[in-house]
Structure 1
Amino acid sequence: MTIHATPVQTLPTVDFSRFHGSAEEKSAFVQDLTSVLHDHGFFYLTGHGVPQSLIDEVLAVSKTFFALPEADKLAIEMVKSRHFRGYNRAGYERTRGEQDWREQLDINTEGEPVADGPDTPWNRLHGPNQWPDALPELKPLLLRYQAEVTRIGIDVLKAIALALGQPEDAFAEIYDPSPSQLLKIIRYPGRDSTGSDQGVGAHKDGGFVTVLLQDTTPGLRIRTEEGAWIEAPPVPGTFIINSGELLELATNGFVRADVHDVVTPPAGTERFSVAFFLGARYDATIPVIPLPEALKRGERGVSVDPLNPIFRNVGINHLKSRLRSHPDVAAAHHPDLLPLLEKKA
């Protein structure tokens, strides 16, 4: 197979029902996906099987949450959780040191605290989520949605493994039995409320794959290898899938983890989205997959950002990301880990 970059002004659309079709349809789908992964890193996903009724409910309850009185939201402010779970006001998360103008609620795998030690600092990420007493229906709904997008993420990973010439379960050994399941419900206030056009600054996602649900207001942009920015507006009935740094590491850059950002919506408007980040187990180490020779020629190497090094140790990589993004939580609960931010890959 010949791999070559193709100019792109819009994202491709991938019908995932083909992956669950006949053997011939699945084979053709996997071959098409190989080129998408190499050329784009981002694509629209249809045929995903998530009921529209659940999508509508999640967006509706997200809007209800953000409309709560500030005191109800601050009752579960993230700085109260050493596990980086909870609510953040606009400007309280940072990308590359600059404020992101969005308010959000972060949840991850529901669990109990786990003892950590010098060799397992990432165990601090395990623990319970914070849920608002003022909106009891939020917890069961978001956990049901989290389970659905986890299913999508793992199915997409199986398809990606086949597209890379690997067994379907090639990545299972580094996500089973407990992948990271970070879910964010997000509201971007209009520019009149922020004075900044940085909804989220330019970055790559750190996990395996991201499953993004957009409401109706655009703002997401993706940067191509040539440095041009393309817009990814909402398309009803779709998710946007993008590959993260773990796949770039595992494939020596054959799979792209594209830089992207979100532009603050115009004055008088707001933007809602729900982002799910499927990652590996915190105690896993990312291997380099031996790609077939036809694909190996398409390896581009792992991109290096001196301001944000990435590590093959999943727990260190994720912990470093959370410490950087949430300096208030880091200072309150993890001052001993701040030297990690100076560590080189």
Structure 2
Amino acid sequence: MITPSLPLIDIGRFRDPAADRAEFLAELRRAAHEVGFFYVVGHGVPDRLTTGIFDVAKEFFALPVERRLAIENIHSPQFRGYTRTGYEYTGGSPDWREQIDIGPERDPVAGGPAWQRLIGPNQWPESLPSLRETTLAWQAEALRVSREVLRALAAALGQDEGYFDVWFDDEASTHVKIIRYPGRPSAERDQGVGAHKDYGYLALLQQDEIGGLQVQAADGGWIDATPVPGSFVFNIGEMLEIATQGYLTATRHRVVSPPAGVERFSVPFFLGPRLDAVVEPLKLPPELAAHAKGVSQDADNPLHAAFGENALVGWLRSHPKVAERWWGDVVGERA
């Protein structure tokens, strides 16, 4: 039995009438407030999908490079598709991973604020139709579980379970990454993904048995998020930090590359609201409000209450080649 390095939450207790609801909500609230990261089990996602998503990931990354590059994200104004190793940046440094970015399947939207141009279609490899089928099925289950955890968090914060639902209709801005981390190119270069926070409401991560995810502790050290079979790792995003005035804090985390000759696969799902959502502080019960630390102030990463603007800033910063090709007008305005 693997000893979890982070709190472990059985979300099945949230819908179990025989469970002690107050005790469950207290455990979830403590995990989200004190750590900002926790494992979730009891989610009910079938094994055929949790296994299947890794199967199709390995099939895709085994394709010849020219087939992968046929759906390279440079072809997509929405930053969708395949990204080569070293082409996404975190903290100004290249991440040592290759990946596919997938969002909701929608038609492009003309006009309006700049962030509306993030709406559009995905790119899929013609030679691997199972990737689309399996990914969209896994995405639907990840959305279901994430919505349930968000409803549980609302209750744990003294709100109605449906408090956040208004921004999570069919226009919600969800996002999946299917990632392969190759072994590090040298002992000195271990940045799989640089230290960062996630800017949505919640992030869900399915990781394989190879470790690498690390969570920053209050003292500045790093905690290994040891893989726990059958679990997802959840973390608080910046939008929940804004909504709770810092009672819940988006925690910095990173991925350390596996050793040379070892590869790691992971699939994160990011629960974002509608792009036109504007986060307003909720009214916490006094006993919780007394422990709200306020929203983090980081000159290099200012938080925007308008979600679309927050999302756009993140994409432009992390994918400079796509930004240069499709977003030159916006980048020029902000220079």
The answer to whether the 8 A contact 1:83-1:124 is kept is yes
Q: Out of 33-42 and 100-109, give the one that drifted further.
A: 33-42
* Structure 1 partner of 2:12: 17
1:122 aligns with 2:106: no
* Alpha-carbon distance in structure 2 between the residues aligned to 1:166 and 1:269: 45
Matches within 5 A, 1:253-264: 253-264=246-257
1:295 aligns with 2:288: yes
Shift of 1:323: 0.5
SS in structure 1 at match of 2:185: helix
Alpha-carbon spacing, 1:299–1:340, altered in 2? closer, same or farther (3 Å): farther
Shift of 1:10: 2.2
Provide, for residues 176-228 of structure 1, a one-character-per-residue CA deviation record: whole Å limited to 9, x for no partner. Answer: 24211100000001013796210000000111111100011100000012211
- Of the three residues 31, 41, 44, the one matched with 1:46 is 41
AA aligned opposite 1:245: E
Provide, for residues 83-128 of structure 1, a one-character-per-residue CA deviation record: whole Å limited to 9, x for no partner. Answer: 11000001000001110010000000011101133xx111101110
- Of the three residues 319, 322, 328, the one matched with 2:312 is 319
* Alpha-carbon distance in structure 2 between the residues aligned to 1:116 and 1:28: 49
* Alpha-carbon distance in structure 2 between the residues aligned to 1:208 and 1:307: 20
Provide, for residues 46-88 of structure 1, a one-character-per-residue CA deviation record: whole Å limited to 9, x for no partner. Answer: 0000011211111111011011000000000001000110000
- Of the three residues 227, 230, 233, the one matched with 1:237 is 230
* Alpha-carbon distance in structure 1 between the residues aligned to 2:222 and 2:274: 32
The share of aligned pairs that are identical, in percent, is 49
The answer to whether the 8 A contact 1:188-1:265 is kept is yes
AA aligned opposite 1:10: S
> What is the TM-score normalised by the length of structure 1?
0.93
Moved over 3 A (4+): 192-195, 339-342
* Alpha-carbon distance in structure 1 between the residues aligned to 2:170 and 2:50: 26
AA aligned opposite 1:152: V
* Alpha-carbon distance in structure 2 between the residues aligned to 1:99 and 1:233: 24
The answer to whether the 8 A contact 2:245-2:281 is kept is yes
* Structure 1 partner of 2:259: 266
* Structure 1 partner of 2:138: 145
The answer to whether the 8 A contact 1:204-1:259 is kept is yes
The aligned length equals 332
* Structure 1 partner of 2:180: 187
Q: Runs of 5+ in structure 2 lacking a partner?
A: none
The answer to whether the 8 A contact 1:116-1:122 is kept is no
Alpha-carbon spacing, 1:304–1:331, altered in 2? closer, same or farther (3 Å): same
Q: Out of 17-26 and 183-192, give the one that drifted further.
A: 17-26
The answer to whether the 8 A contact 1:320-1:341 is kept is no
Shift of 1:324: 0.5
Shift of 1:31: 2.0
* Structure 1 partner of 2:190: 197
Q: Out of 155-164 and 28-37, give the one that drifted further.
A: 28-37
Q: Runs of 5+ in structure 1 lacking a partner?
A: 1-8
* Alpha-carbon distance in structure 2 between the residues aligned to 1:15 and 1:236: 13
* Alpha-carbon distance in structure 2 between the residues aligned to 1:299 and 1:202: 24
1:100 aligns with 2:85: no
AA aligned opposite 2:71: I
* Alpha-carbon distance in structure 1 between the residues aligned to 2:169 and 2:332: 30
> What is the TM-score normalised by the length of structure 2?
0.96
